[in-house]
Amino acid sequence: MAVDFALLLFVLLLISGVIWAIDEIWLVRHRNAAGATPQKMPWWVEYGRSFFPVILAVFLLRSFLVEPFRIPSGSMLPTLHVGDFILVNKFTYGIRLPVIDRKIIDIGSPQRGDVVVFRYPPEPSIDYIKRVVGVPGDRIGYYDKVLYVNGEPVTLRDGAKPVQDGGVEFLRLPEQLGSHHYEVQWMPQRPSPQGEVVVPAGQYFVMGDNRDNSKDSRYWGFVPDQNLVGKAFFIWMSWDGGQFAVNWRRIGSSIP
């Protein structure tokens, strides 16, 4: 069962805040009463008062500014690797109330090419990360492993280069969506879903950069605006599980 960390953090904040308030309003006066022998602060009060400002700072930072995520799969290769730890901008697409995730201030919307974290529509307790390839009103086509946006191809087959990864052969090709320049990869021998759709209002079409190893909008549909968590923008840590070592070359990289 997935743990709702935002809810857990809110509950801890509420408990520690209540303890802090009770102590500040009532208990501290009894401990410091005139003529009385100073009393030691109860352990639960000491812990509550100590943790409250820390939890409050983490809660505000995580809810409204940035949130860390770990990449669990290779669906965004070669852009993001398994073991990358990334930061997600929480306010780029609007200010949302924590826990209930309701937008209260509309600041901006995803643009084509943005890498976004969102709550997986079929199971919103799970966070996914993909690249936005279609915004509301766009006509998105995918034929012969080439992505088309409003009838124009954005996958550049002339720049294809073969690579080997774990004994499997891939082709990597450059793509450009708006100001985003990046590479995608696909497997020459693996069939891909094909077709064309129009993105509805208030929804987005997303795809993984690892096109033949990504379950995305081609399979389960669009991402509603209310499911957006934020825009991925920075790799702050990368752990190579195969080598059991930090991948220093990836640390500090921006996400194209």
Q: Which active-site residues does the annotation give?
A: 75, 130
3-class secondary structure, 5:
helix
The answer to whether 196 touches 210, Cβ cutoff 8 Å, is no
Contacts of residue 57, defined as CB under 8 A and 6 or more positions apart, other chains included, come to: none
3-class secondary structure, 228:
strand
Quick one: CA torsion of 247, 253, 255, 256, rounded to 10 degrees?
-120
Contacts of residue 218, defined as CB under 8 A and 6 or more positions apart, other chains included, come to: 142, 193, 195, 207
Look up residue 144 and give its DSSP letter.
T
- Rg from Cα positions in the chain: 23
Q: What residues pair up with 70 in beta bridges, in sequence order?
A: 85
Q: Which string of DSSP letters, residue by residue, matches 68-133?
A: EEE--SSTTTTTS-TTEEEEEESSTT-EEETTTTEEEE------TT-EEEEE-TTSTTSEEEEEEE
